[in-house]
Amino acid sequence: MQISQMNIKKVILFTSVSFASGILFVNIYNSLVNAVAVDSDIPNSVIATREYFKVVNPGDFFKIFSPLTQVFALLSLIVLWKRSKSVRMFLGLAFLCYLSADIFTFIYFHPRNDIMFKLEPLPDTGTLKRLSSEWMSMNWLRSLIVFAGIVFSFCAIDRIYSEKIL
């Protein structure tokens, strides 16, 4: 079975959207489950989370799938660059959203995670409550950024199929 260039482009584009959707839903899970558990009984819940995260943590998932999402988003932009200005714009915006969410993660979330889950000795309860609250609020913003990227990706897909350019 021969795979055409057209099909390869579709696979790249749909892989990009699939991975981004996975990132979004794991992020939402973190907001609805992990963050609520961490915030439930500070400092005891933070201590329990520290123990749990010694084995595995959500970052282990994101270390793999965030870069893959960006790679496939960038590949989608590259392989579809010449097709249409609107497709190029939507895919470029999607890539920028995925990249922005990751930059936001490194600048905003990683320092808070380190303080809450790695720093010795454990910070005071007031600091932990403030960090937990900030984390919970801003994770919804990060989710919104990823969601916007997914919407832009689907706008590109819609444009591709309506223009029949793939």
State the SS3 of 9-33. HHHHHHHHHHHHHHHHHHHHHHHHH
In tens, the pLDDT along 39-87 reads 999 999 999 999 999 999 999 999 999 999 999 999 999 999 988 899 9
pLDDT for the residue numbered 126: 97
pLDDT for the residue numbered 2: 60
The whole-model pTM stands at 0.92
pLDDT for the residue numbered 158: 95
Amino acid (1-letter code) at residue 158 = D
Does residue 121 have a cis peptide bond before it, meaning omega lies within 30 degrees of 0?
A: yes
How far, in Å, CA of 31 to CA of 93, rounded? 25
pLDDT for the residue numbered 4: 76
Question: With contact defined as beta carbons under 8 Å apart, do 145 and 101 qualify?
Answer: yes
> Which ranges of the chain would DSSP assign to H, the alpha helix?
5-29, 35-39, 44-53, 58-79, 85-104, 110-117, 125-163
What residues in the chain have per-residue pLDDT under 70? 1-3, 6, 164-166
How far, in Å, CA of 138 to CA of 151, rounded? 20
How far, in Å, CA of 100 to CA of 84, rounded? 24
